[in-house]
């Protein structure tokens, strides 16, 4: 097993390299990069990003005024009237004065040491940005995954045992309705009903904590944190628990109908012992297989709209804003971290497989 783990860890290196290489190559051909964004800001078409650009081109506005009227054959769209020296200064600031292979090699070397550089348009290091947003994503991803599994596993087992009963029918109706409603739409409904939208104002509308949270006692901090998490977690869990409930039910139904369960009943074993002593371990394998995907989805992509609706500054929202704003250091750093965590969680899933059912031997299959 140790050899298998080491082999999987070694395979992460070319996988990460491939992900970063493909993304880097795509970015080279994507229009509207950071240079174009600054040029658009200088032309009065941007969103104020120029004031946050740091480095050697801090006096860009004056340079533009001085160079008005001089035509430029720049490769950048909207650069008419800007001198080549001015454009070269912009390229040097963003590191585009060096060849693409050299920039890619330097980025990989920095990322191996977890040196992600500084944001183009925020006067702060990328690592600090990620560190500030990480608690929000951890809170949403971890609690959403735990709550959805805590609800879906017992409910799915109960539905499998009571298959075809009235309990199974009406809970299936609730589960399907929950699956059909998009999480962001359900979040908007919760805001309207319980966050001062049109009816009640029970829960806060934004953030994870209240103002002055640092001065609260531990009990007050926990209560305030839970109070803020109720609505976004409810919006996230509603769809996730529906999927995992049906998965659990179908998995248990498949196992219950197998020959070894009939044999165990003929031997006189109780239904509870059959269910939790024999069926549970086999049926839970497919549920465990869905855990990494559920966690990664909740941790990053799945919470993007929820973070936006409830004004939560998490990694999903940060990544989306960085892609739109062409803040490449943040884009590549979050992609690197997302990919690394996804590979690590997949490896952890295989180890959980073995822990649940020692008969599974991935090391033997890999040889």
> Residue 170 has what pLDDT?
92
* Pair (236, 297) in one structural domain: yes
How many other C-beta atoms lie within 10 A of the C-beta of residue 237? 24
Percent of the chain with pLDDT over 90: 6
Higher pLDDT, 62 or 264: 264
Q: Residue with structure tokens 């804003």?
A: 321
Q: Do 154 and 58 share a structural domain?
A: no
- What's the chain's average pLDDT? 78
- On whether both 49 and 140 belong to a single domain, the answer is no
176 and 88 in a single domain? The answer is no
Residue 58 is predicted with a pLDDT of 45
Q: Long-range contacts: 112-115, Cβ < 8 Å, 24+?
A: none
| pLDDT single digits (tens) 113-155 | 888 888 888 878 999 988 888 888 878 888 888 888 888 888 9
pLDDT exceeds 50 at position 366: yes
- What pLDDT sits at residue 55? 46
Residue 116 lies in a domain: no
Flag whether the pTM goes above 0.85: no
Residue 129, by phi and psi: left (phi above 0), alpha (psi -120 to 50) or beta? alpha
Q: Residue 323 CB: number of other CB atoms within 10 A?
A: 16
Residue 9 belongs to some domain of the structure? no
Structural domain boundaries enclosing 46: 32-102
- Range with the poorest average pLDDT among 14-23, 86-95, 216-225: 86-95
Hey, which residues does 118 pair with through a beta bridge? 125
190 found inside a domain: yes
């Amino acid at each position: 097993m140790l050899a298998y783990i080491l082999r999987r860890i070694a395979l992460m290196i070319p996988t990460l390299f491939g992900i970063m290489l493909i993304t880097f190559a795509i970015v080279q051909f994507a229009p509207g990069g950071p240079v174009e964004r600054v040029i658009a800001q200088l032309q009065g078409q941007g969103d104020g990003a120029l004031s946050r650009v740091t480095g050697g081109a801090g006096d860009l506005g004056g340079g533009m005024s001085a160079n008005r009227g001089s035509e430029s054959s720049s490769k950048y769209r909207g650069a008419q009237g800007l001198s080549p020296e001015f454009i070269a200064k912009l390229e040097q600031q963003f590191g585009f004065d060096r060849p693409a292979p050299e920039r890619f090699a330097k980025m990989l070397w920095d990322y191996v040491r977890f040196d992600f550089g500084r944001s183009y348009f925020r006067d702060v290091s990328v690592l600090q940005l990620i560190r500030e947003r990480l608690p929000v994503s951890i809170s949403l991803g971890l609690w959403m995954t735990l709550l959805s599994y805590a609800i879906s596993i017992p409910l799915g087992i109960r539905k499998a045992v009571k298959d075809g009963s009235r309990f199974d029918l009406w809970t299936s109706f609730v589960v399907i309705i929950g699956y059909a409603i998009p999480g962001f739409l359900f979040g908007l409904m919760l805001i309207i009903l319980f966050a001062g939208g049109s009816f009640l104002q029970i829960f806060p509308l934004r953030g994870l904590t209240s103002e002055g949270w640092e001065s609260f006692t531990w009990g007050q901090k926990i209560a305030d944190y839970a109070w803020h998490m109720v609505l976004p977690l409810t919006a996230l869990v509603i769809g996730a628990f529906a999927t995992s409930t049906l998965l659990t039910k179908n998995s248990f139904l498949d196992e219950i109908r197998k020959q070894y369960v009939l044999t165990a009943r003929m031997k006189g074993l109780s239904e509870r012992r059959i269910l939790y002593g024999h069926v549970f371990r086999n049926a839970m394998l497919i549920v465990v297989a869905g855990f990494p995907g559920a966690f990664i989805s909740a941790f990053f992509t799945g919470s993007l709209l929820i973070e936006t609706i409830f004004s939560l500054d998490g990694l999903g929202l940060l990544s989306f804003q960085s892609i739109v704003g062409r803040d490449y250091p943040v884009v590549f750093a979050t992609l690197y971290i997302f990919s690394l965590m996804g590979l690590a969680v997949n490896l952890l899933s295989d180890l959980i497989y073995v822990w649940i059912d020692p008969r599974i031997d991935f090391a033997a299959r890999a040889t």
